Structure 1
Amino acid sequence: MAKKRYLVEFGTGVDVHGMDVSKAAAKALRDAISHCCMVGLTEYAGLKDLSEQISLDIVIACPHKEKLDVEKALSGLPAYKHMNVKVVDGGMEIDGMDLPGAPGGRTIVVVNAGITVWVDA
Structure 2
Amino acid sequence: MALKRFVVEVGMGMDLHGGDVTNAACKAVKDAVSHSCLAGTIDIIGLKTPDQMHVHIKLGCPYPDKVDTRAVEKAVPFGSTEIEVVPGGLTVKGLDLPQLGEGDTIVAALAALTVYVDV
Q: Same fold (TM over 0.5)?
A: yes
Contact 2:58 2:84 (8 Å CA) reproduced:
yes
Equivalent in the alignment of 2:95: 97
User: CA RMSD of the aligned region, Å?
Assistant: 1.5
- Find the aligned partners of 1:44 and 1:79 in 2 and give their Cα distance: 19
- Find the aligned partners of 2:19 and 2:49 in 1 and give their Cα distance: 37
The residue type paired with residue 39 of structure 2 is V
TM-score by structure 1 length?
0.89
Equivalent in the alignment of 2:12: 12
Shift of 1:2: 2.1
Shift of 1:95: 1.5
- Find the aligned partners of 1:111 and 1:92 in 2 and give their Cα distance: 7
1:29 lines up with 2:29 in the alignment: yes
> Identity percentage over the alignment?
42
- Find the aligned partners of 1:100 and 1:46 in 2 and give their Cα distance: 50
Match runs of 1:69-84 below 5 Å: 69-80=68-79, 82-84=80-82
Shift of 1:102: 5.6
- Residues matched between the structures, number: 119
Gaps in structure 1 of 5+ consecutive residues = none
- Find the aligned partners of 1:98 and 1:56 in 2 and give their Cα distance: 36
